[in-house]
Amino acid sequence: MRFFLPCLASVLLPVVHASPPDRDAATLYAHLCANCHGTDLQGNKASSLIDPTWRHARDDAGLARIIRQGDRKSGMPAFAAALNDAETRALVVFIRETAKRRIDPAVHQARALPSGVQASEHHAYRIEKVVDDLDVPWSLAFLPDGHLLFTQRTGGIFVARQQDGLWTTRPVAGAPPVWVRDEGGLFSVAVPPDYATNGWLYLTLSDPGPEDTGNTKLVRGRLRDGRWTDQETLLEAPRDSYTSLGVNFGSRVVFSDGYVFFSFGERGQVGQAQDLALPNGKIHRLLPDGGIPPDNPFVKTPGALPSVWSYGHRNPQGLAVHPKTGELWETEHGPRGGDELNYLRRGGNYGWPLVTHGMNYDGTPVSPLTEKKGLEPPVLHWTPSIAVSPIRFYTGDAFPRWKNHLFLGTLGQQELRRLEVKGDRVIHEELILKSLGRVRDMITGPDGCLYVALEIPGPDTPDYIVRLVPAP
């Protein structure tokens, strides 16, 4: 069932950009620009476009403007007649990507863990390995008894605990089967605040469907004698929407104010993030048992899924709750460029794919627009992509000057960043870890240490969980 709201029809109409595939950004650049600016943007007759010192184009809008309008005095032709706005935007992304690659070559390998005391703006720390020999640890959680729960993307829930200084890990029996394909598998495990009274744990996964397909799903269950039991499905997609595409599952689960929030990626079905009748490309808000809170924003909207809290999301792999205010923050992977950090508002439309700072992977444009009235703009966005993934607020006492700061992990750029937020803004940012591995999750431990799940790139490289321990 599809249902478009009449009052939002202008926003919801599918965008069609019929750019033929031979008009991707690299091809356009080669045909229209390379002659003057050099085949690899290093400059030829005209100036280099990877030089960070721009004469005309200070920001993205300025870049687009000079491409459209040219500059008669300096000899830069106007391309408004040859390129539509979306293609111009794609060229801007292409120029930014190429420049970034020059300045900061893509990281393919991770460095070994540094030993000794590491410095940062507020705190010195050491990095200790906690659990080794893993295969993409995806999510971390702590039980009230101090045991560390984690998932591996290829399946399996594990419990790790420290005894006499040594960490031991055992798998939980009876973990649900998952559809392991590309990005798909087992995702988040989360412990709700009232765990002690009822024992429920929440789990998100790519559920195996018919004929080698899968889709994102939210379940809860209990741990009893080392077994996963009592599983209940809380939110799943209609069977006929299961797809063989192994991308954009989203899939974090967090708790705020007695509600369960769950991020569901658009699954590569681009326009569906705007369709309120479908679960993909949405953040959902549920009661702890999967019921619908009566004050959800779309409960009275005919045809809309009543669980939807916000929509227009692409691949929301990060979801975090501010420990003081209960407000929600979200990260999502853009396509090529256009990664976002969002502040979530009730009923908000976050714009994918109507507006984006990115372009398609083949270099063809997604949208000419990076913003539009009525669509929520990101708080921060990154082009080229940093592959932004988990976010989590630090809540411990071991690093007092990090308290309530938002930690943000990236995959491609292998970074852990610390963000200070105020209201819906980011007021300061610091790079904490770089090139130690793809950051899949982080969490404050009962000891106040910051635990970080690292995926080490490479075919046979074991992945691990580390913790940042305060150092004098």
Q: Which residues bind ligand HEC (CB under 6 A)?
A: 32-33, 35-37, 45-47, 49, 54-57, 63, 66-67, 71, 74-77, 79, 91
**Shortest Å distance, C-beta 311 to ligand HEC:** 34
**Shortest Å distance, C-beta 335 to ligand HEC:** 20
Closer residue to ligand HEC (CB): 15 or 36: 36
**Shortest Å distance, C-beta 56 to ligand HEC:** 3
Name residue 76's beta-bridge partners.
71
* Cα gap 401→417, rounded to integer Å: 15
Sign of CA dihedral 120, 122, 128, 132: negative
* Cα gap 99→173, rounded to integer Å: 49
- Residue 159: phi and psi, rounded to 5, are -120, 125
Q: Which two tokens stand for residue 181?
A: 């394909």
**Shortest Å distance, C-beta 103 to ligand HEC:** 16
Strands (DSSP E) contained in 302-393 are 308-311, 315-321, 328-333, 339-343, 380-382, 388-393
Closer residue to ligand HEC (CB): 35 or 109: 35
Do 332 and 342 form a contact (C-beta atoms < 8 A)?
Answer: yes
Residue showing tokens 């080698």: 212
Closer residue to ligand HEC (CB): 64 or 432: 64
Closer residue to ligand HEC (CB): 51 or 429: 51
**Shortest Å distance, C-beta 18 to ligand HEC:** 20
Closer residue to ligand HEC (CB): 32 or 277: 32
**Shortest Å distance, C-beta 340 to ligand HEC:** 24
Closer residue to ligand HEC (CB): 80 or 173: 80
Closer residue to ligand HEC (CB): 174 or 368: 368
Residue type, 442: M
**Shortest Å distance, C-beta 89 to ligand HEC:** 11
Closer residue to ligand HEC (CB): 34 or 277: 34
Do 357 and 335 form a contact (C-beta atoms < 8 A)?
Answer: no
- Long-range Cβ pairs for the range 35-40 (8 Å, 24+): 40/98
Q: Which helix (DSSP H) or strand (DSSP E) does residue 125 occupy?
A: strand 125-134
Do 117 and 423 form a contact (C-beta atoms < 8 A)?
Answer: no
**Shortest Å distance, C-beta 91 to ligand HEC:** 5
* Cα gap 76→63, rounded to integer Å: 12
**Shortest Å distance, C-beta 70 to ligand HEC:** 8
Q: Which two tokens stand for residue 28?
A: 């356009």
Which residue's C-beta sits nearest to ligand HEC?
33
Do 82 and 429 form a contact (C-beta atoms < 8 A)?
Answer: no
Closer residue to ligand HEC (CB): 71 or 430: 71
Among candidates 394, 397, 401, 395, which has minimal Cα distance to 122? 401
Q: Which two tokens stand for residue 163?
A: 């005894």
